[in-house]
Structure 1
Amino acid sequence: MGNTALPDSRTETDGSAVVRVLSYNVRSLRDDEDALTRVVRACAPDLVFVQEAPLFFRWRKHAARLAKKSDMLVLTGGGSAAGPLLLCTLRSTVERTEDVLLPRTPGLHRRGLATAVVRIGGARLGLISCHLSLQAEERYAQTGQLLDRLKALDVPHGIVAGDINERPDGPSFRRLAGELQDCRAVRPWGGEHTFTPADPRRRIDAVFATSGIEVLGCGVPTGLPGVTEEDLRAATDHLPVLAALRIPPA
């Protein structure tokens, strides 16, 4: 698909929803927050799957500020999910949310999932923002826990996005791609590698979708109008992943 335009958000006559989904590791907003929010706004997402949202002092205030500057609303997550956060626009009608803490391995960071069920147009879908472990064995276990949690949402369609901390040829990434569509692999658009912004050589961030969702394009939004190389480098230590998806009506 290259760098042809991604479809804009819309609700089609049959009730199916075309949604723009952004996954972004924001490194606790320690970098250039204005550059970060310029990138988010330029991507015009309906949903943002954030990783490494601020965790500590006044984390809710920081999440709310990020949402407001990005023209979004806080859906769920943040400190209560150990970092993953979900943002949405008013296009989403929220059915329920739940922040999940995953089992902790002594000596390693606590990990969690921000989960929600929303309706957009005539579509009903589950959402999970994740940031998996740096340690391979724990990461593989978390992949199974994530897939179990997606099934437990009991929805017709689902989107999982986040920092996988592993390349597509790794066992955890392959486990996800075996159960879900790896949106970048299905319909490439934009750039491929997400880490690091200064010298991107690894694809460790991804958007996944259940089988009934049509992938219209997915990749790093390089060359997208309003997204500059300077802002991508200044915003955080990962590049974002933007996907356009068509979700059938419920």
Structure 2
Amino acid sequence: MNGSTAPELPVSRTESDGSAVVRVLSYNVRSLRDDVPALARVIRACAPDLVLVQEAPRFFRWRKKLAALASASGLVLLSGGAPAAGPALLCSLRATVERTEDVLLPLTPGLHRRGFATAVVGFGAARLGVASCHLSLGAQERAVQAGLLLKRTEAFGTPHAVVGGDLNERPEGPAFRRLAGALQDCRGAAPWGGELTYSPELPRRRIDAVFATAGVTVLGCGVPDALPGVTGADLRAASDHLPVLAAVRVPAG
């Protein structure tokens, strides 16, 4: 792993004031081309309420494959996959689903189609917009998509949201900086665990991130240093990215 051992993140819970502690995992799963049982072990060990997936299966029997991953991870499929061109959302049964929407972004000739998987969910009295993204490999298109992600965040109809995914860009890049300028970069707000997300064999770059709107309290965010029942070999076998796990407190209302 790529950081010193960190204390445990807060567990999911509902507070006496109606706010909710929610665990959010962002993970590029490389179309399930790697060790799927290892991937499921990693996800389950993170104990997430929400999983922001990138590179979900998009072709033959994609829904069955994604639902099987969710089931093996103790979760259910919320939205995304092929209709969102790759991003997807998984959730625990703790979440109450208000609505979902898969968004296809404008296509740039010669580049892959991109999209967002989005939803509004509730955790008791707390409501939360959520979006998973996988931004373009092209710098110009990536910057435009960052702006579209911010507009989508504003359109949730709730003041509290978390968004994240594979940005294909380091924190000093313009798309990353645009998102971090409008939202809280959860890793920057409350560093926890490791920082670098790509690649698992020798992490050198931070290109995956989780962001939150103002009013959401970030309790910790980073690459898990240690997970129960998960080895370093599991993390290397599961995907070509490392997962980013965040714990946030969402106010009631």
TM-score if structure 1 supplies the norm length? 0.98
Which SS does the other structure have where 2:162 is aligned?
strand
Residues in 2 aligned to 1:225 and 1:90: alpha-carbon distance in whole angstroms: 21
Pairwise mapping of residues 119-130 of structure 1 onto structure 2 (< 5 A)? Answer: 119-130=122-133
Opposite residue 227 of structure 2, the aligned amino acid is: L
Structure 1 contact 222–229 (Cα < 8 Å) conserved: no
The aligned residue for residue 243 of structure 2 is 240
- The answer on 1:50 being equivalent to 2:53 is yes
Secondary structure of 1:189's partner? coil
Counterparts of 2:83 and 2:192, CA distance in 1: 33
Residue 104 of structure 2 corresponds to 101
**Partner-residue secondary structure (3-state), 2:71:** helix
Tell whether 2:135 aligns with 1:156: no
For these two proteins, the number of residue pairs brought into alignment is: 250
8 A contact 2:5–2:226 mirrored in 1: no
Q: Residues 123-181 of structure 1, C-alpha deviation per residue, up to 9 Å, x if partnerless?
A: 00100000000100000000011111111111120000100000000000000000000
Secondary structure of the residue that 2:143 maps to in structure 1?
helix
In structure 1, stretches of 5+ residues that fail to align are none
In the other structure, the counterpart of 1:175 is 178
| Structure-2 residue corresponding to 1:79 | 82
CA distance in 2, matches of 1:214, 1:112: 27
Q: Please report the RMSD computed on the Cα atoms of aligned residues, expressed in angstroms.
A: 1.0
> Paired residue for 1:5, among 3, 8, 16?
8
* 2:211 matched residue in structure 1: 208
Residue ranges of structure 2 left out of the alignment (5+ in a row): none
What stretches of structure 1 move > 2 A for 4+ residues in a row? Answer: 224-227
Give the % identical residues. Answer: 70
Separation in 1 of the partners of 2:135 and 2:203?
A: 20
Match of 2:187 in 1: 184
Deviation at 1:25, TM superposition (A): 0.2
Q: Which amino acid aligns with 1:119?
A: G
TM-score relative to the length of structure 2: 0.97
Q: Which residue of 2 aligns with 1:40?
A: 43
